Structure 1
Amino acid sequence: MNLQQLFQDFNPSKFVVHSCLLIFVAFFSLRLDNHIKWSYWWIFAPIWVWKALVILGATVGSYVWWRYPHFRLEGEAYIHYKAMLISLALHLILLMFELLVCDKLESGRHLWILVFIPLIFISIVSIAVCIWAVKHDRSFELELFCAVNVLQFIFLALRLDEFIGWSWEVVFVPLWIVMCLALVGVLYTIIFAGILLRTPEVNAQQRRSSFQTALGYTFLVIPVLIFQVLLANKLDEDIEISHTSVAIPLMVSFVTLILMSFNSKGGNKWWFGMRKDFCSFILSVCPLLQEYGNIAYHSERHRNGVELEQQSEKGGHVVRRADLFKPVLPIVSIELPD
């Protein structure tokens, strides 16, 4: 067990977002099937938690930014801080859309086209944000998703208000196009991983990394495509199936995203004013965790055909050690009181 290897690329932002979305999808599907009778304001509770963490993280990060001016000289601090503010602005607009959706589902007093206006606006703004992110080598998953689906959001609003009478399979045409491109990307990763597995010059780590990437994208894209097919047929009343069954493939994709967050590099270091990777911050705050993280445990009996053991004569007894301990993190001394 190597704690450093497990958490060194951990992305807490993606973990929180995808976990909240997974819980929300589960609640929403159960509510549509009338398995639970909660108000939609409670159904959207995971979304509110997500947005509350974003607002709190940006507030604390801004306080640290203005309270300690010398922190601004650390590397690319200005770019990280700008990225955090841009992300906060987009999340606030997205929060406005989510509040309108929840109110519409609860009271039904708005047109869907009015509800989707913030989402359409954020989709247009996301195009400029994506350009800025590429220029400054920043990640932009949420912005890219909104930018490529602006036409889809318009179709959804018009169809929900019955301004157009198209079948749902036609309404989802923009999303079909995006999914086709995603399938091409998945096919490329699978072929690339197969080539690396058959290439003896490639080391084992690269083969393992390419295989994990192909496996992750496969379990991410294929379930979303299945969910889209089931949803379109469900809305067109071509099949009789519960909303929970329709949502299961989508939940599989979110579980995949949660697992992939443990191997997702990047993340903004100014959320909550941490100014460092999440793992390093947690270890610096909790020295006891660092003590545990300093040790990787291995249980090996043989290495190159030789048994790993230490024998010493101590009063006629033989001492054998099969478990090896090696430090994997910088050891920080902790002074304990006498």
Structure 2
Amino acid sequence: MNLQTLFQDFNPSKFLVYVCLMIFTALFALRLDGTIHWSYWTIFIPIWFWKFMVITGATVGSYVWWRHPHFRLEGEAYVHYKAMLISLALHLILLMFELLVCDKLESGRHLWILVFIPLIFISIVSIAVCIWAVKHDRSFELELFCSVNVLQFIFGALRLDGLVSWRWEVTLVPLWVLMCLCLVGVLYSLVFAAILLRTPHASPAQRSASLHSALAYTFLVVPILVFQVLLANKMDEDISLSYCAVVSPLFISYFTLIIMSFAAKGGNRWWFGIRKDFCQFLLGVCPCLQEYGNIAYNVQSNEAARRAGANGSITSNGQDVPGQISRKSEKRVKKADLKPVVPVLSIDMPD
């Protein structure tokens, strides 16, 4: 385990979103099953916390942007700041949808098609945002999800209002198509990983990366597909499972996304005006982490330790004498002990 890589590749934004969604899913399923009887405004607390962090981070970042004009000359500051404002606008529209959903569940005073209007609007806007993100080499997971599901949002709203009498298996056709494409991608990643494992010219790093990517996509897509099948059957009353049982496969996908957030890299440097990677900001706030961030742990077996000891032995009259250290090794150890200890100021960035 390499803590240096763990700190450098960590994406706090994705980690916050996935944790909030996981907690909200659990609370919402318990509320639908009648296990808890809290108000929906309370059930949505993880969502409110997510949006609060987004609004607060953008507000602080904008204050730093206008308060210190010389910060705008730092690298791609304009691109990062524009990306933050675009993300803020999309989250505000998404917040409007969530407020309408919560009010609908509590009072039932609106039609679902009116509730879904902000979500349909954000899906159309997300198409232009995806084009801008590709042009400026920015990530666009939320925007891509909304843009490819615009038809599903319309079908879902019409079915919830009873304007169409389709079965939910038919209503979720756009999601079935999307999941089929995702399964094709998973199969491709598995086949590619298998080919690399049998290719002698591939480096161990390439094999490991392809295998980890294939496993991550498998544990991400397959549980979502199982959840979608269970949900469609539950809504059509073909099965008698509880909602907690229906959403249980979804937690595997959430757990996978949380783990993947520790290797997601990226992230906008202007959230909360930190103007640097989260790793460097965290080390500046907690200098004690510098000592642990430059440590890599490697667990060896007993046989490997014995081999290492055998390699360190010296020979006398053509025979191995284990347990002894050569004079050159002793000199190297003494020189290493005499070297001054210099505190590490930051984690070394990878090449």
Please, what TM-score do these two structures have when normalized by structure 1?
Answer: 0.90
Using the TM superposition, give the Cα deviation of residue 285 of structure 1 relative to its aligned residue in structure 2, in angstroms: 1.7
- Seen in structure 2, the aligned counterparts of structure 1 residues 307 and 39 have a Cα distance that, compared at 3 Å, is farther
Using the TM superposition, give the Cα deviation of residue 58 of structure 1 relative to its aligned residue in structure 2, in angstroms: 0.5
Using the TM superposition, give the Cα deviation of residue 297 of structure 1 relative to its aligned residue in structure 2, in angstroms: 4.2
Q: Given the alignment of the two structures, is residue 42 of structure 1 paired with residue 42 of structure 2, yes or no?
A: yes
1:22-64, CA deviations, whole angstroms, 9 ceiling, x for partnerless residues?
0000000011001111110110000001000000110111111
1:212-240, CA deviations, whole angstroms, 9 ceiling, x for partnerless residues?
00000000000000000000001001111
1:25 paired residue number: 25
Tell me, what secondary structure is at the counterpart of 1:295?
coil
2:57 paired residue number: 57
Q: Given the alignment of the two structures, is residue 306 of structure 1 paired with residue 311 of structure 2, yes or no?
A: yes
* Code of the aligned partner of 1:153: F
Distance in 2 between the 1:259 and 1:23 partners?
Answer: 16
Distance in 2 between the 1:9 and 1:106 partners?
Answer: 41
1:139 paired residue number: 139
Aligned CA RMSD, in angstroms, stands at 2.0
Distance in 1 between the 2:287 and 2:240 partners?
Answer: 55
- Seen in structure 2, the aligned counterparts of structure 1 residues 330 and 172 have a Cα distance that, compared at 3 Å, is farther
Distance in 2 between the 1:13 and 1:250 partners?
Answer: 20
2:320 paired residue number: none
Distance in 2 between the 1:185 and 1:150 partners?
Answer: 21
Q: Given the alignment of the two structures, is residue 95 of structure 1 paired with residue 95 of structure 2, yes or no?
A: yes
Distance in 2 between the 1:310 and 1:57 partners?
Answer: 59
Q: Given the alignment of the two structures, is residue 268 of structure 1 paired with residue 268 of structure 2, yes or no?
A: yes
Tell me, what secondary structure is at the counterpart of 2:288?
helix
Judge conservation of contact 1:294–1:330 (CA < 8 Å) in 2: no
Distance in 2 between the 1:79 and 1:35 partners?
Answer: 47
Judge conservation of contact 1:169–1:232 (CA < 8 Å) in 2: yes
1:277 paired residue number: 277
- Seen in structure 2, the aligned counterparts of structure 1 residues 100 and 332 have a Cα distance that, compared at 3 Å, is same
Judge conservation of contact 2:130–2:140 (CA < 8 Å) in 1: yes
**In the TM superposition, what are the counterparts of 1:67-146 in structure 2 within 5 Å?**
67-146=67-146
Judge conservation of contact 1:123–1:146 (CA < 8 Å) in 2: yes
Using the TM superposition, give the Cα deviation of residue 284 of structure 1 relative to its aligned residue in structure 2, in angstroms: 1.6
Tell me, what secondary structure is at the counterpart of 2:132?
helix
1:317 paired residue number: none
* Code of the aligned partner of 2:214: A
* Code of the aligned partner of 1:199: T
Using the TM superposition, give the Cα deviation of residue 303 of structure 1 relative to its aligned residue in structure 2, in angstroms: 3.6
Distance in 2 between the 1:307 and 1:91 partners?
Answer: 60
Distance in 1 between the 2:299 and 2:267 partners?
Answer: 34
Judge conservation of contact 2:312–2:325 (CA < 8 Å) in 1: no
Tell me, what secondary structure is at the counterpart of 1:95?
helix
Unpaired runs of at least 5, structure 2: 314-322, 328-332, 334-341, 347-351
- Structure number with greater Rg is 2
Distance in 2 between the 1:90 and 1:299 partners?
Answer: 45
Judge conservation of contact 2:4–2:295 (CA < 8 Å) in 1: no
1:7 paired residue number: 7
2:344 paired residue number: 331
* Code of the aligned partner of 1:84: M
- Seen in structure 2, the aligned counterparts of structure 1 residues 5 and 303 have a Cα distance that, compared at 3 Å, is farther
Distance in 2 between the 1:72 and 1:304 partners?
Answer: 56
* Code of the aligned partner of 1:183: L
Using the TM superposition, give the Cα deviation of residue 266 of structure 1 relative to its aligned residue in structure 2, in angstroms: 1.1
1:219 paired residue number: 219
Using the TM superposition, give the Cα deviation of residue 189 of structure 1 relative to its aligned residue in structure 2, in angstroms: 0.5
* Code of the aligned partner of 2:246: V
- Seen in structure 2, the aligned counterparts of structure 1 residues 110 and 208 have a Cα distance that, compared at 3 Å, is same
Using the TM superposition, give the Cα deviation of residue 295 of structure 1 relative to its aligned residue in structure 2, in angstroms: 3.2
Percentage of pairs with the same residue: 72
Judge conservation of contact 2:7–2:293 (CA < 8 Å) in 1: no
Distance in 1 between the 2:299 and 2:78 partners?
Answer: 46
Distance in 2 between the 1:217 and 1:193 partners?
Answer: 12
Distance in 1 between the 2:281 and 2:54 partners?
Answer: 18
Distance in 1 between the 2:299 and 2:63 partners?
Answer: 47
* Code of the aligned partner of 2:79: I
Judge conservation of contact 2:11–2:266 (CA < 8 Å) in 1: yes
* Code of the aligned partner of 1:92: L
Distance in 1 between the 2:296 and 2:261 partners?
Answer: 22
* Code of the aligned partner of 1:46: P
Unpaired runs of at least 5, structure 1: 314-319, 321-328, 334-338
1:236 paired residue number: 236
Distance in 2 between the 1:55 and 1:243 partners?
Answer: 32
2:258 paired residue number: 258
1:67-106, CA deviations, whole angstroms, 9 ceiling, x for partnerless residues?
1111111111100000000000000000000000001001
Judge conservation of contact 2:119–2:153 (CA < 8 Å) in 1: yes
Please, what TM-score do these two structures have when normalized by structure 2?
Answer: 0.87
1:296 paired residue number: 296
Using the TM superposition, give the Cα deviation of residue 298 of structure 1 relative to its aligned residue in structure 2, in angstroms: 4.4
Distance in 2 between the 1:307 and 1:228 partners?
Answer: 58
Distance in 1 between the 2:345 and 2:272 partners?
Answer: 24
**In the TM superposition, what are the counterparts of 1:151-190 in structure 2 within 5 Å?**
151-190=151-190
